[in-house]
Amino acid sequence: MNIITLTSDYGLKDPYTAIWKASIFSQNPNVQLVDISHSIAPANFAEAAYIIGSAYRYFPKGTVHIIAIEEMDAHSMRFIAGEKDGHFFVAPDNGILSLIRPEFQYNPLHIIEIDATQSDFPATEIMTKAALFLAENGKISLLGKPCTDVQSKVPWRPIFTEQNKSLTAHVIYIDRRGNLVTNLPQALFEKHRKEGDFTIHLPAGTRISKITKSFREIRQEASIFAMFNHNQLLEIGVYGGSLKNHTGASHLLGLTLQNKIIIEFS
């Protein structure tokens, strides 16, 4: 039995996450369940894609990842399964897989042909049964016929403007410290920087012209910093900040999801 991970926008206050897990254990009490997150904001596809994309590759090959983000009931939505990098993904056909790995727009996926219309949780029941089947080394092709007409979503991408030598990035995730993760990869930043100087323009006249490589470089509480995180994406933060206490970069800079950050090169 391989590992099954769970990601949802169910939250932890309501009973739905517990009901989901109880359903899984009722079908196989020996399954290895790992929670990635159940605190995704409702229907926040970008947040879900960032969290799952950050975490899944650290699991062993053969792990099955169930993604319950904005899934509807079995009557109004298809459910699909795909394989990438030795991992299996089970999700609603609502575009979430294309945000995690764009290749899922082009690789054949399999429609999950499982009838769960009599279940109290039909959408989750379908994905659970498919995941358990895959975790027991079942062939993905036996879940249902392949399809190529799956839904896809177009992610925000950094934009380079040649006229003023600037990159426009977007905030795609805010962590519990209020740090702002952008969609700007380090490789793209270095390509346009060309070892020259740069300025990151932030609200309230705040400017950053240095990339911090380690938290050891930061000596003062409430210092605003820019660094490339473990996903090699540009992150803007406040040292010692907290989203809960309104001391993070998102609150102090007045930035939220999809807001723009401009980087100028000289």
Q: What is the DSSP string of 114-163?
A: ---TTSSSHHHHHHHHHHHHHHTT--GGGSS-EES-----PPP--EEETT
What is the overall mean pLDDT for the chain? 91
Residue 14's pLDDT band, with cuts at 50, 70 and 90, is very high
User: Within 10 Å of residue 251's Cβ, how many Cβ atoms?
Assistant: 17
- What are φ and ψ of residue 215, in 5° steps? -65, -20
Q: What is the pLDDT of residue 123?
A: 81
Residue 189: which of 99, 261, 101, 250 has the closest Cα? 261
Does 2.40.30.90 match the CATH number of domain 159-265? Answer: yes
The Cα 187–Cα 191 span in angstroms is: 6
- What Rg, from alpha-carbon coordinates, does the chain have? 21
Looking at the whole model, is its pTM more than 0.85? yes
**pLDDT > 90: percent of the chain:** 69
pLDDT at position 156 over 70: yes
Question: What element of type H or E holds 191?
Answer: helix 186-193
Residues 214 and 197: beta-carbon distance below 8 Å:
no
Same fold, 3-147 and 159-265: no
Query: Would you kindly state where each structural domain of the chain is located, as residue ranges?
Result: 3-147, 159-265
**Domain 3-147, CATH:** 3.40.50.10790
* Tens-digit pLDDT profile for residues 64-88: 999 999 876 666 789 999 998 899 9
Q: What would the two tokens of residue 8 be?
A: 């949802």
Model confidence pLDDT, tens digit, residues 94-153 = 999 999 988 776 677 999 999 887 777 888 889 999 999 999 999 999 999 998 888 888
- CB 54 within 8 Å of CB 60: no
The tokens for 217 are 């470089």
Instruction: Tell me what percent of the residues of the chain surpass a pLDDT of 70.
Output: 97
The number of residues in the chain equals 266
* Residue at token pair 């962590």: 175
Angle at 152 between CA 175 and CA 86, to 5 degrees: 75
